[in-house]
Structures are given as structure tokens and as C-alpha cells.
Structure 1
Amino acid sequence: MTQEPKKFHVKNLRYTVRSAQEKDAKSLSELRLQIDGETENLDRETGEAYIDAIGFKQIISEDTRSASNLFLVVEVNEKIVGFSRCEGIKLKRTSHKVEFGVCVLRDYWGYGIGKNLLGESVRWADSNDIKKMTLHVLETNDKAITLYKKYGFEVEGFLKKDKFLSDGNYYNTIVMGRFKHEDTSC
């Protein structure tokens, strides 16, 4: 599904959150590879589960056609610096929910980009009859956990010793979910 672009101005940085387009595929492939090398908060190390431009074109095409998927990018001066996806599930018993994921270049942390990607995704989900959003977050990513809680996500459980990081230690993954509450008042 697509969404109208929205402009933001945070700490002297102007950026646009918009739906991904097939022309973004090459940039997204390069961006994902770079971001994977900048943080251990994500599942992948640099080069793992690599998606080339053709793969991203296919994902963008499928997400654009699907009412239960949303692929957003953040653009600063015509350069993509981050993205998020909400991926729905086609199985009837779980078709009410989507899984949210986000990543932003380290140089652009602190400008509300992740917050605004999340906010736009939550608004999209709430207005498109998505009942539940889920996500996974590394237990040490306190800023992300605090942000998710502000948007109504709750801790649903832990995947114990789920990630093995470069310091030689295992870390838990927190499973969080946000259920859209229907207004039943008259």
C-alpha cells in the first residue's frame, strides 16, 4: 500500500517520509548493507541475507499492491537515509496483524526519524483496519523500547539468549505488540 509523503523539520534537518518506489531499489540495497554494519541492534551482520536491487524492486512492488504491507523511506536532500516496513501475514488466523521493522543510518540518529516512521506506520495501521502491530527489539536498545511504549506497545515476552553479539555474550530479544483498541463509547 502507498501513503502520501509527509515532511518533517527536526533540529535543522528537513526530511520527507514517503512510500518506497521501485526507483529506490538500488539505494535501499546499499543502505541496508551499510546500516547492518553500523549497529548490532538489527538481526544481520554486514552482507548477511543480502537483498540486491532486483530483490528490493520485487518487495516494493508486492508491498505497493498489498493492503496489509507498508514500505516507507526517509529522504534527506534526495538521499534515502532510513526505512521501515510493516509486513502483513496472508494466513486468515493472523491476517489482523503486521510486523514492524525500522532502520536508520547512524549519522541520522537523534532527528526523530525512527519516531516519525513509527508514527506514520501506526497511523496507517489504525486507519486500515490492522488490529495488531508486533516487533522484536534487542533488550539493550533502551531508546527504542521507550519509544515503542510511548506508542502503545507492550512487552509480550522474551526470546532468551536470542542474539550472540560481538562482545561474546548472548542477549535477549523483547517481543512487543500493540493492539488497536476499538472505541466502544457512545
Structure 2
Amino acid sequence: MTLIREIREDDAERFLHLCLRLDQETKFMLYEPGERTTTVELQRDRIQAILADGRSTILVAEEIGELVGYLAIFGGNANKTKHIGHIVIGIIEAYTGSGLGTSLFHAAEKWREESELTKFELTVMVPNERAAALYKKMGFEIEGVKRNSIRMDGMYVDEYYMGKIF
């Protein structure tokens, strides 16, 4: 059974390993293989800062001691955007289509109830139809298109801006 919980500082090495694995497995995450330069120490510091922030968190999915997915919420810093949480989600290929993404979003919404966030936002590459379908299922709507947002495989790819208001 997959456990979904808030990240801890002692997850830094396993979380970095998860991110590096996602860089290898999918073209739909931001970093390409070999591009991520974060160390375990820097990852630990970042986790500590996120948890101390109060408007941000990382929820991790753990299966038999291995992190297999995550959903991060980054709250706005400026007074005018403190109500918005930007979402980043990643799930290893072996767990996609298993309902884990839905479970992570449900956990994020439960976490949000204790925060001052009234909106979630995210971007998704237009060709990532599976992810866009999940986000729509979770109540997100396309709010705009960011043209030529990503350069992937020598071509420019558009991204959808998506949001969900609570």
C-alpha cells in the first residue's frame, strides 16, 4: 500500500533520487537527464525551507521505503499572490495510471484546507495529454496557453496554464 505523507528533512537523499529518476524517465519534467545539479545537502536545505514557509509543502508517495511520486505546492511570496499555490507533480512510470496522481491531489486539497491558499495553478506541456486529463479530472481548467514555452527534442512546445479555484 502506498503511503502519502508530508516530506521530512531525512527524505532528502531519497527525494533527490526520485527527481533524478523522473529526469530519466520522462520528457515532461523540466530537467533533462544530467542537468540537475542539486546535492543531498542542498536538497535537505530546500526541504527545510519549504516546510518552514507555511504556504508550501511537498507531499510524497512512499511504497516499501521507496519514494515513487510527489506533489509539491509552492505558495506565492508577494502579498498579492499569497493565496496561490503553484503545483508540481511527478510520478515514476511504473505507478502512472494507478490512481496515485488522484490520491496526491486529494492529499494536497486536504493540506490546503489548513492554509490560506484559495487557488492552485500549474502548467503542463500540451503533448502531455495523460497529465492534462488528470488535472481536468481534478477540477482544473485551462486558463491560457504559453506559446513556445519549452524547447524539447529541438522543437518548441506550448504549455497550458491551468488553475483550480477553491
Task: Mark yes or no: TM-score above 0.5.
Answer: yes
Cα separation, 1, equivalents of 2:141 and 2:68: 28
Say which SS state the counterpart of residue 121 (structure 2) adopts: strand
Counterparts of 1:67-82 in structure 2 under 5 Å?
Answer: 67-82=54-69
Q: How does 1:10-21 map to 2 (within 5 A)?
A: 14-21=1-8
- Letter paired with 1:62: A
Which residue is 2:33 aligned to? 46
**Is 1:118 matched up with 2:131?**
no
- Whether 1:178 and 2:145 are equivalent positions in the alignment is no
Q: Separation in 2 of the partners of 1:32 and 1:120?
A: 20
Contact in 2 for aligned 1:82/1:105 (Cα 8 Å): yes
Structure 2 Cα separation of the partners of residues 52 and 114 of structure 1? 27
Counterparts of 2:20 and 2:2, CA distance in 1: 21
Q: CA deviation at 1:18?
A: 0.6
TM-score, normalized by length of structure 1? 0.84
Q: TM-score, normalised by structure 2?
A: 0.93
Alpha-carbon contact 2:55-2:116 (below 8 Å) kept: no
Alignment correspondent of 2:147: 160
Q: 2:119 & 2:59 partners in 1: Cα distance?
A: 18
The CA RMSD over aligned residues, in Å, is 1.4
**Structure 1, unaligned stretches of length 5 or more?**
1-13, 181-186
User: Aligned-pair distance for 1:123?
Assistant: 2.4
Which structure dedicates a bigger proportion of its chain to helix?
2
Output the amino acid matched with 1:175: Y
1:37 alignment partner, SS class: helix
- 1:164 Cα deviation from its structure 2 partner: 2.0
What is the Cα deviation at residue 109 of structure 1? 1.5
Q: Verify: 1:87 aligned to 2:74, yes or no.
A: yes
* Residue 47 (structure 2) aligned to one of 60, 66, 75: 60
Structure 1 stretches of at least 4 aligned residues deviating more than 4 Å after TM superposition: none
Contact 1:33 1:50 in 2 (8 A): no
Aligned to 1:50, the other structure's residue is in SS state coil
